[in-house]
Amino acid sequence: MISFSMEPVRCSVRGVFVAVSSGGTAPAVLLDTGNDSCIPIFIGLSEAISINNALNKEVSPRPLTHDLIIEFFTRYHIILSSVQIDSLDDGIFYARMVLVHENSEEILDCRPSDGIAIATRCGAGIFLDQSVIESSAVQMTDLPPVIALNSYLYE
């Protein structure tokens, strides 16, 4: 098991948005940490679309990378137990996937965006280390202007 200094906190995905500023636009996934606060994690556009598709239960005519990973897990009886976002270093979030196969637990390093995209597809929990929450949670009212990804892409 991954050991944390404190008990990790389960979070939920509030949604996928695009932050708009004079410097440009940046996709972000917002993780709800409770008390009207969230953690914005800025991600690539393809990962944003993938997470958004999973949240909306949209299925592509051809499997995207994260769909392919889920198919691999299914075929080889691998269960994604959880995704643990466990550190933030120099503005970069780090995460791990906790996988179970034949009563053996394996931990793989992953980008948070990939872990979130996969966890959302298979219903696995997403957990934040308390230190990540303390260092990066912001009140929803303090976020820069954001618009829903679907509105940005299709309107």
Distance, in Å, from the CA atom of 140 to the CA atom of 124, rounded to the nearest integer, reads 25
Q: What are the pLDDT digits (tens) for 3-35? A: 445 789 999 999 999 998 778 889 999 999 988
Cβ atoms 130, 7 nearer than 8 A: yes
Cβ atoms 87, 94 nearer than 8 A: yes
Residue 146: partners with Cβ closer than 8 Å, 6 or more residues away: 17, 18, 19, 20, 28, 30
In order of their start, the domains of the chain are: 9-154 (3.10.690.10)
Question: 3-class secondary structure for 33-77?
Answer: EECCEEEEEECCHHHHHHHHHHHCCCCCCCCCHHHHHHHHHHHCC
Q: What is the structure's pLDDT at 26?
A: 93
Closest CA to 41 of 22, 23, 27, 54: 27
Q: What are the pLDDT digits (tens) for 85-130? A: 999 999 999 999 999 999 999 999 999 999 999 999 999 999 999 9
φ, ψ of residue 14 to 5 degrees: the values are -75, -35
